[in-house]
Each structure stands twice: as C-alpha cells, then as structure tokens.
Amino acid sequence: MIKKILVLSGGISKERSISLDTGAQVAKELKKNGYQVKISEPDYNLSKNIKNFRPNVIFNALHGQFGEDGYIQSILESFKIPYTHSGVIASSIAMDKEISKKIFIKNKIKTPKFFTYSYDMISSDLIKKIKKKLKFPVVVKPLNEGSSVNVFICGKKNILKILSSIKTYKKVMIEEFIGGREIQVAVMGNKKLGAIELKPKRKFYDYQAKYNISAKTEHIIPVKLSTKKMKKLLNIALKAHNKIGCKGVTRSDFKFYNGKFYLLEINTQPGMTKLSLVPEIAAYKGISFLKLIQWMLRDASTKK
C-alpha cells in the first residue's frame, strides 16, 4: 500500500518557484488524506532523505532543467524506487525542442517550421534565412526551457536585440509564428483525458499569462470544436505521447489555425498549481485533484 511519499520540488531551474508551488500543493493534498509526506530538494541531502524516510514512491514535482530533462530521472533510477512521470529517455527527448520536433515531423505530426540559431551566424544571413524559410514575425525560444521562459514573438526590428538579451543559451530555436487558437491537451497514461482552450489577454500564453492571476487568461472548457476535430486533436496528443515514449501525465500545447492543429511541444511534467491546466481538465472530467495525484502515484515506476 502506498503511504509514504517523498515529494521532490524546488531545484535550480528558472521554474523553481512553480516547482515549489506544485510540490507544496501536492504535499498538502496528500497529508490531508492520511499520507506520510516529506518534501525534499534535489540537492546533496536527497540521498540521505530517501535513505532515512524510505518512501514507497517519489513524486517528481520538479520543472525545467535538471528536473524534467532526464537528469534527475537518471539519479532516481539508481535508488530503484518508483517515481512519477516519464523516464530518462522520454524526458530528455521531450525537453529538447529540436529533437522532439524532428520526431513529430517523422511521424507526420504537424508542427511549426523552424531552424536552430547559434550566435556565430552573421546578422544579415539570419534575416535572409528567416525571410526565405519562415517570414516575420517569428518565435524565438530556448531549446530546453519550459513554462514559456524567455519565449518571444519577434519582428525584423527587434529580433537581434532579443537574441542578444538571451545569448547565455548559446543556441536557440527560431520558429514560424502560428496565429489562431491556443489549445492544450492532457493525456493520462493511455487515456485521452481532454482539452482546454486559453484566451490570454497578453500577446500570447507566456510565463505571466500562465502563472500570474492578474494576467486574467480566460480558460475555456469544453473547447468549441466539432466532434471530428476534437477526436483528431486528442489522437494527435496521444500519438505524440506514445512516440516520445512518455509515461504518466503529459500536456501537449497546440495552435489551431486555418482548420489545422500544430503541435508546439509536449510537457512531461505539467504543473499542479492552482492555475495549472491538467488538474482543471481532470476536474471537468470528474477526477478530483486527490484522485489525479493518487493515479500518478499508482502509475509510478522505475523506467528508462
């Protein structure tokens, strides 16, 4: 029987605050329902915490680099204790936007056109390449961040300035900008859980729109799509989940434009905060926050 849960949260990524919020809310819900819970940072005390607490399952509430990119998963494998979400390889692939998009393309999943940019490219060559391959505006994003951290919509006039401001990444993705509707889909194991549409008041569904209540992003559920279109959308999300090799719960981010769905990325560790989308989709489907967490704990395993 699952009774002792170690919740792993915090970390050193730019999404640390979201991870702490996710971890705290998961821990609170479990404690309220009779579970023994310990929260741990993924630091040098982790091994000692696991050894002393001896959890049945580790709930991985980390987000961003070192938390959902296969790094912490490889460490967790060594403890031989079941942990939630995807394993080492799937986490690594999903977090790398370039590799995951190549897998989407290989499996005939429509995704915005893109190329990667490293800072040794001459500015004039970059502008020519964008005009030829993508056209302005374009989306600039790091290859391995989540929660829309340092994602920008750029025109010809500001792209060089934006690229200069995030040059610590050394290499970024420049992607075709797709307008239209923002729709997110949750998958729960092999189950197509459901979808939600977002109408941000901001320019797009960026970090502030996701986590700042004052941003007033409108959440629409059920999504207004025909039965045929909804079935197609859910099938694409499940296909991406399976082709990447994901486990547990994932959330896929789509744009719907001119009757076509474009998959932007798949998130292997979606948030569990008050503004998070997977718990909202689950609640609409009659699955409480507690039941969702309990399912994730039962689904936990060691895996590569």
Distance CA 148, CA 179 (A): 16
Q: Residues 13, 60, 271, 280: which is the catalytic one?
A: 271
Establish if 222 belongs to a structural domain. yes
Q: Nearest-CA neighbor of 21 among 294, 216, 271, 283?
A: 271
Which two three-digit tokens encode residue 233? Answer: 């959308």
* DSSP-derived secondary structure letter, 168: G
Nearest-angstrom CA–CA distance, 79 and 67: 16
Respond yes or no: is residue 68 known to be catalytic. Answer: no
72 plus 134 within the same structural domain: no
Within this chain, do residues 146 and 231 fall inside the same structural domain, yes or no? no
DSSP H helical segments within the chain, as ranges? 16-32, 46-53, 71-79, 88-95, 97-106, 123-133, 159-165, 207-211, 227-244, 277-284, 289-299
Give residue 165's pLDDT: 85
Same domain, 168 and 272: no
Asked, for residue 191, whether it belongs to a domain, the answer is yes
Number of folded domains that form the chain: 3
Q: Does residue 26 sit in the same domain as residue 126?
A: no
Q: Are residues 72 and 125 in the same domain?
A: no
Residue 225 lies in a domain: yes
- The CATH number given to whatever domain includes residue 172 is 3.30.1490.20
Do both 71 and 168 map to the same domain?
Answer: no
**pLDDT tens per residue, the chain (304 residues)?**
678 999 999 998 888 988 999 999 999 999 999 999 999 999 999 999 999 999 999 999 999 888 899 999 999 999 999 999 999 999 999 999 999 999 999 999 999 999 888 877 777 788 888 888 888 899 998 887 655 677 889 888 888 888 888 888 878 899 999 999 999 999 999 999 999 999 877 554 444 444 445 457 889 999 999 999 999 999 999 999 999 999 999 999 999 999 999 999 999 999 987 778 999 999 999 999 999 999 999 999 876 5
Say if 71 falls within a structural domain. Answer: yes
DSSP H stretches of helix in 134-189: 159-165
SS3 content of the chain, % helix, strand, coil (to 5): 40, 25, 40
From the list 40, 60, 252, 267, the catalytic residue is: 267
User: Catalytic site residue 15?
Assistant: yes
Residues 215, 265, single domain; the answer is: yes
For the entire predicted model, the pTM comes to: 0.89
**pLDDT value at residue 147:** 53
> Do the domain assignments include residue 103?
no
| Separation of alpha carbons 108 and 116, rounded Å | 20
Q: Which of 198, 194, 180, 202 is nearest to 255 (CA)?
A: 180
Residue 107: what pLDDT? Answer: 97
209-245: buried (b, 16+ CB within 10 Å) or exposed (e) per residue?
Answer: bbbeeebebeeeeebebeeeebeebbebbbbbbebbb
Q: Is 54 designated active site?
A: no
Which is the catalytic residue, given 251, 252, 262, 280?
Answer: 251
Residue 97 is assigned to a structural domain of this protein: no
Catalytic, 207? Answer no
The CATH code of the domain that includes 36 is 3.40.50.20
Active site residue 265: yes
Picking from 176, 192, 222, the residue at the C-terminal end of a domain is 176
How far is C-alpha 97 from the geometric centre of its chain's CA atoms?
11
Residue 102 falls inside a structural domain: no
Rounded to whole angstroms, the Cα distance separating 27 from 19 reads 12
Catalytic, out of 9, 40, 86, 147: 147
Per annotation, catalytic residue among 21, 253, 262, 280: 253
CATH number at residue 204: 3.30.470.20
Distance between CA 276 and CA 283 in Å, rounded? 11
Task: Calculate the alpha carbon distances from 191 to 93, 134, 238, 267 in Å.
Answer: 21, 35, 8, 16
Q: Residue 122: what are its φ and ψ, rounded to 5°?
A: -70, 135
Domain boundary among 176, 202, 226: 176
pLDDT at residue 6, rounded to an integer? 97
219 and 290 both lie in a single domain: yes
Q: Structural domain of residue 130, as residue ranges?
A: 114-176
Please tell me the distance from the alpha carbon of residue 245 to that of residue 304, in angstroms, as a whole number. Answer: 10
User: Are residues 188 and 167 part of one domain?
Assistant: no
Q: 263 and 281 in one domain? A: yes
Helices 97-106/227-244 angle, 10° precision? 120
Instruction: Say what the pLDDT of residue 209 is.
Output: 45
Q: Which candidate in 68, 197, 206, 265 is catalytic?
A: 265
99, part of any domain:
no
251 an active-site residue?
yes
Same domain, 202 and 133: no
Adjacent-strand bridge partners of 301: 83
What is the end-to-end Cα distance of the chain in Å, rounded?
Answer: 24
Last residue of a domain, one of 149, 176, 203: 176
How far is the C-alpha of 220 from the C-alpha of 282, rounded, in Å? Answer: 14
- Active-site residue (options: 11, 13, 15, 207): 15
Beta carbons of 24 and 76 less than 8 angstroms apart: no
Spell out a b/e string for 161-175, using b for 16 or more CB atoms within 10 Å of the CB, else e: eebeebeebeebbbb
Do 201 and 295 lie in a common domain? yes
